[in-house]
Chain A
Amino acid sequence: MEFKRLTLLAGHYGSGKTNIAVNLAFELKKQADRVAIGDLDIVNPYFRTKDSADMLEKAGISLICSPYANSNVDIPALPQEMYALTDDKTLHAIVDIGGDDRGALALGRYAPAIVEENNYDMWLVVNRFRPLTSNATDTLEVMNEILTACKIPFTGIVNNSNLGADTTEETVLSSVLYGQEVAKACGLPLIMTTVEERLYPALKDKIPNLFPLGLQSRIFDK
């Protein structure tokens, strides 16, 4: 996989941005020396890259996020270090943008520098099984809301269609057409389809540009 200096991930909340960001950062670390994740999600305190902080630190990936994430200070502030994303041209980064247009609003302040440097990818993460992005028309609506908020043109689509623990080979296979339709409707390439690691071996020859995702297990899952 080829990375630009910055890879920005946006999408409807619950589309899987944060998990994909963490997984892509590990992939990027194989190719680049200095890798960071920038967490611009100032909206949802329940799912954050910070939950993966230990894992990232061990891999030598730096995490730039709100110093107040998961802390007592419940304010939507971003740290000054976030400017390293645009100012430090030796840094490669995956940027996790908050859900919907509200989350993307925070990206706007970095937009002029990102667009000017023009060494970025901006991918829309989509899941056919999320009710508000279940077809190309609705998904396009979400994309345009995000675009209006952050003013950074998209460059590709990431199909992350899944049903959580109920995901089967069939689930993923049946979503490929949806991914292509969304890409076509947006006039953008379908960059990849992502799939949980356990299903990767069975599907890797059936779906082009398939990318395996490691997931974190939760104590209340069976």
Chain B
Amino acid sequence: MADKVLMKGNEAIAEAAIMAGCRHYFGYPITPQTEIAAYMAKRMPKIGGVFLQAESEIAAINMVYGVSSTGKRVMTSSSSPGVSRKSEGISYMAGADLPALIVNVQRGGPGLGGIQPSQSDYFQATRGSGHGDYHLIVLAPSSVQEMADLTIKGFDLGDKYRMPVMLLADGTMGQMMEPVSFDNVETKEYDKSWAVTGTKCERKHNIINSLYLKPEELEKENFARFERYKVIEANEAMYQEYKMDDAEICVVAFGIAARVAQNAIDAAREEGIKVGMIRPITLWPFPKAPMLAATDKVHTFISVEMSMGQMIEDIKLATECRRPVELCNRVGGMIPTPDEVLDSIRAAAQKGGNK
């Protein structure tokens, strides 16, 4: 492969997964993520891997459960309605402490919704999606290069903490083409002595399970899991700041919305408005610390998101409601235009702060 290649976001995810050592992919086609499956179907047979189009999303996620139990790197991908169907299996994986990469290339909802891009699965991704107390690590790329980098990072994080990881993209990110480099791929190996690989009568057998009928035991499992979550919250939050040094207004946006917002911020700066952006790269753990710190200097936060206002709740929690948080949004497959975001920034500047 040349130093740089031109890829769709969906293809970059698939190739990066292969580079991260993933040799098992189970999926079911759905727009706008089908190129992931198509790419895997072409590549996996050539490298001794497994591509399997399951009979449904539910079957696919349970195949992922099975392969993950054996300690192998494994992934599945879908788009919003398909991820809803996977949620039961994701909960079981969280309960059995199984790593895997689950990709959601979001489309408009609810229900069958549309096929155009959306970010309205934020709650579904960050609140666990299935039943029970659990989290997924949620990674939100904002370029095709990041689609690749965060896919690899996702496999590492999953193995490190023994939990499912979600890559949360959207239809535009999946379909858009950008140059991407795989030059600096580094991936780590983690201890998987917990995996079910056959005891050869040499060790006690391992059990992969999420059923604990004794409440004391189940409570203990939950407590232990949330101790691990605390470590993740302390160490793994990722974000990027843009022109925040002297900012009085802070835009918060992720994924494709962050790219539109960045253009709006540049335009606002030309008008003399001091505005910057904090772009969460992990949605769970949410980068709370930089946002709380920003409350000392900014008078208003603006959440730019392609949902009816989901991330805005996390911003309010992170900033402890010290500053007003405005919402700039489009939904249903619509992407906010730079002008729409600029209008929100202008309005916030005009209103000013109360600090």
Contact = CB atoms under 8 A, between A and B. Distances in A.
A45 B107 CA distance: 13
B115 A163 contact: no
Contacts of B175: 44, 46-47
Contacts of B146: none
B100 to A, nearest CB: 24
Interface stretch (B1-9, B80-88, B187-195, B274-282): B1-9
A165 B1 CA distance: 19
A219 B338 contact: yes
A208 to B, nearest CB: 23
Interface string A197-222: 00000000000000000000011111
Interface residues of chain A: helix, strand, loop or mixed (majority) = loop
A165 B2 contact: no
Nearest to B335: A219
Contacts of A127: 6
A165 B176 CA distance: 12
Interface string A126-141: 0111111010000000
B171 interface: yes
B260 A219 contact: yes
Interface residues of B, number: 30
A220 B337 CA distance: 9
A131 B4 contact: no
A116 interface: no
Q: Which of A14, A130, A219, A220 has the most B CB atoms < 10 Å from its CB?
A: A220
A74 interface: yes
Interface string A141-170: 000000000000000000000111110000
Contacts of B15: 131
Contact of B115 (A13, A45, A162): A45
Contacts of B5: 129-131, 134, 163
B335 A220 contact: yes
B151 to A, nearest CB: 15
Contact of A130 (B7, B31, B172): B7
Nearest to B35: A13
A44 B175 CA distance: 9
A163 B172 CA distance: 18
Interface in B139-188: 171-172, 175-179
B6 A130 contact: yes
Interface centre among A45, A218, A219 (most CB of B within 10 A): A219
B11 interface: yes
A134 B260 contact: no
Contact of B42 (A132, A219, A222): A132
A62 to B, nearest CB: 26
Interface of A: 13-14, 44-47, 74, 127-132, 134, 162-166, 218-222
9 contacts: A14-B177, A44-B175, A45-B31, A129-B179, A130-B7, A131-B5, A219-B260, A220-B256, A220-B263
Q: Which 8 residue pairs are nearest across A and B when measured between Cβ atoms?
A: A220-B259, A166-B179, A46-B175, A163-B179, A129-B6, A131-B5, A129-B5, A220-B260
